[in-house]
Structure 1
């Protein structure tokens, strides 16, 4: 009997995690695995690209978890520079095109995995496709940017960069280019950078960025990428001003890459991401699976689906898909929306809902903000941090936490992430038995200080 065929579209986190896990469970004579990747690289950390561009990671290959040759040695037929262009659901086949040769073929499947990821937001502005405008979604993108940065470093004189967008990618790329010696301007349409925080916490990021020498233009949408006589980007324009640049980097976020799925008639949610069940099976299709940046996931706090593009989820989705195709059983219950980042010495973290998210789903809540330090105040190297906590009125259920501060601030958000997953109240959090020693925290950890204040606010609200 011929083996079943598992066909994977997308050779990064979800796709290759799914292929690898399925191969662990089923040998090649039971399951043939073919994976299609349109780029030059597979199984790499896209999250590490800003740190590679900035010089903290010296070599591109350090971001590659497993090479195509390593996958092939494990009986996974990974076909690089091969793009899926059409899905025929009725015929259970996919049209594949060799990107370099231009040839096409149809590949049948018994199990199909859609791991097409996300695409950078690239608004249809004049000049947006000019040379000198760069995204940082893939290793190919990062290499193209790094090539021009290293070339410009050979040219004497000041170098200028404009980052369009002040979200995670925007602030990480601002740090990368500061490290490269560029004068950096971040242009963002929001009132504060990091719209993944409440504005009062985003203001702390803005203040810190200014102190690092990063010019941050807020409340300003880019209307045009300006070009020189040769058609190369020379800056950007807003309604009120122009900002000169030698390079322009886009950091406007991403959208699910679901063009193939949409054309095939597969179900999409409000965000444009594929809708899946707990097993990561596309709804209504027994043999089609999807995960990573192209799907919606359930937010366990709000109870609503949302699109979150993070490598942590993508790898978990792949493991779950591979286990289910390989004959096992696994599910993905949902997320609480945890993310952490940094810009130079400032750490930025959040989990759960922001105020506007809680209000949008009809929750009533109280908020508190506290100031503390990463270590005992008397211990050398203690850094300040601000913690904001949101709790549901009356019940005191934790709804969200945001942290902005120096070294030691960011990963403290994991305490709140666990509490959110467990459905804890802020009162219950105050009894958590966390580790303490002066080099690591004050007697009361900053997150627990915020929980105590939030619990008091909930009690006061009841009176």
Structure 2
């Protein structure tokens, strides 16, 4: 038997790593053991809000590759098995079979940590009440759906207004619930600047969602059965038959911390370009449990997205399998949907640019997704940040209807290439009236940014 690689976590990073390593080495050369505490593997967590809202079936429709398919490739996948300890010096992990309760040790030559992230649950009175849900895994989604089916009342409160919170609020509307969203920020989606977030709030209000901003949750009321009945803020109390927490996630690195592995400011594991844990030649980590380089600001960030997780897995699998690949970093691209409104962003917000000590110009333009005379042309708002003297693109935010969201990819490529807004104006983008005005909205914003820079130099 060859070397043994142990992988903790069987979603995007873990199973991408296992699959890539198996492509490179046979079972005789590499023994791959994967531990997963849940019931599912290789699934799309991004699809959970659409499953909850009834737009897609699940969970089977959200699974890219089943446990049986992985096992057929000589991958020893152990579901419902939770790793409780990493012994770095002894090169072994302790795992518990959650069905039998049996504990046992497994030795490794190489270790991959793909433990993901966990929903943030506030340390407030009543925070552990029944009918309160964080949503990160398929098991979480299944538990929420079961609660929604069993709940007689129709009042739902979403706490937090990030991507998950906004998407879950829409899903609950589709489920026939009356939804209140409570957010400590002034506007939803703090990944956008507030002047763009207001567009999201108006769209949500148009769906019938009550959006409460500048509201700090102080407690959760419960009944004698320990079930949540209300969300309490300093100013008001909101009745709740079910509560969904949309406060974001934190890296699931308790195991790594206990093992003495290096963590960053956000609590994520620190790795090199090949996704090796710093200071450990035989340990890799990737996905939502690591911090990554922001190529625009030059700082480390925690950005939990499936796109990164899958890439990390491919890179780790190459390293484990004896090949070589690297992950250079991210520019912070994300896209989402609220009813028929598409929301996208990449690069830095204004507060990010200030925190990085950058001098910048900020411009906002209103345009349309198609030529104005073409049927179906819809309004679009584009905000762009550029460095004041150099003209280097720093960030873009887009809010609009159909055809708006994926335009962010133009900006993502430009950021990666460290292009200036003047260079963006000269890009040879595709044009036809059904797809774009003569000047694409992103280029209109770039043109305006060029003018703003010239006026300030």
Which interval holds the TM-score relative to the shorter structure? Answer: over 0.9
Distance, in Å, in 2 between the alignment partners of 1:313 and 1:97 is 29
**RMSD, aligned CA:** 0.9
| Deviation string, structure 1 residues 354-374 (Cα, Å, up to 9, x no partner) | 011111011100000000011
1:212 to 207, 213, 230: 207
Q: Which residue of 1 aligns with 2:155?
A: 160
Q: Does 1:189 align with 2:175?
A: no
TM-score by length of 1: 0.97
Q: Deviations over 1:223-266 (max 9, x none)?
A: 11111232211121101101112111000000001001101110
Moved segments of 4+, more than 3 Å = none
Q: Distance in 1 between matches of 2:252 and 2:34?
A: 17
Distance 2:427 2:169 in 1: 37
Aligned to 1:268: 263
Q: Shift in Å at residue 347 of structure 1? A: 1.0
Aligned partner of residue 217 in structure 2, secondary structure = coil
Residues 337-376 of structure 1: pairs in structure 2 closer than 5 A: 337-376=332-371
Number of the residue aligned with 2:148: 149
Structure 2 residue 217 is matched with structure 1 residue 231 = no
How far apart, in 2, do the equivalents of 1:229 and 1:263 lie?
Answer: 37
Give the secondary structure class of the aligned counterpart of 1:223: strand
Kindly indicate whether the alpha-carbon contact (under 8 Å) linking 1:9 and 1:36 is maintained by their aligned counterparts in 2: yes
How far the C-alpha of 1:160 sits from its partner, in A, is 1.4
1:59 Cα deviation (Å)? 2.7
SS at match of 1:289: strand
Structure 2: 5+ residue stretches without partners: none
1:102 maps to 101
**Contact 2:4-2:110 at 8 Å conserved across structures:** yes
1:211 positional shift: 1.6
- What is the distance in 1 between the residues matched to 2:146 and 2:263? 37
1:40-439 maps to which residues of 2 (within 5 A)?
40-152=39-151, 159-439=154-434
Residues 396 and 411 in structure 2, CA contact (< 8 A), matched pair in contact too: yes
Q: Is the 8 A contact 2:203 2:339 kept in 1?
A: no
Q: Distance in 2 between matches of 1:380 and 1:270?
A: 50
Secondary structure in structure 1 of the residue aligned to 2:111: strand
CA distance in 2, matches of 1:436, 1:149: 46
1:273·1:307 contact (CA, 8 Å) conserved in 2?
yes
Q: Residues 139-193 of structure 1, C-alpha deviation per residue, up to 9 Å, x if partnerless?
A: 11101111222334xx5xx711100000000100011011111111100001111
Give the secondary structure class of the aligned counterpart of 2:312.
Answer: helix
Query: Do the aligned partners of 1:320 and 1:331 also contact (CA within 8 Å) in 2?
Result: yes
Please name the residue that 2:446 is paired with: 451
Could you tell me which residue of structure 2 aligns to residue 22 of structure 1?
A: 21
Kindly state the Cα deviation for residue 384 of structure 1 after the two structures are TM-superposed.
0.6
For residues 393-420 of structure 1, the C-alpha deviation after alignment (integer angstroms, 9 at most, x for no partner) is 1100000000111111111111000000
CA–CA separation in structure 2 for the residues paired with 1:230 and 1:36: 35
1-structure distance, mates of 2:206, 2:346: 26
CA distance in 2, matches of 1:246, 1:378: 48
Equivalent position SS for 2:105: strand
Aligned residues: 457
Deviations 1:328-353 (A, max 9, x none): 11000000000011111111110000
8 Å contact from structure 1 (residues 174, 343) kept in 2: no
1:169-222 CA-partner distances (Å, limit 9, x unpaired) = 010001101111111110000111100001111111112211221110001011
Aligned partners of 1:451 and 1:352: how far apart in 2? 14
SS of equivalent residue, structure 2 residue 362: strand
- Distance across 1 between alignment mates of 2:207 and 2:451: 36
C-alpha separation between the residues in 2 aligned to 1:348 and 1:192? 14
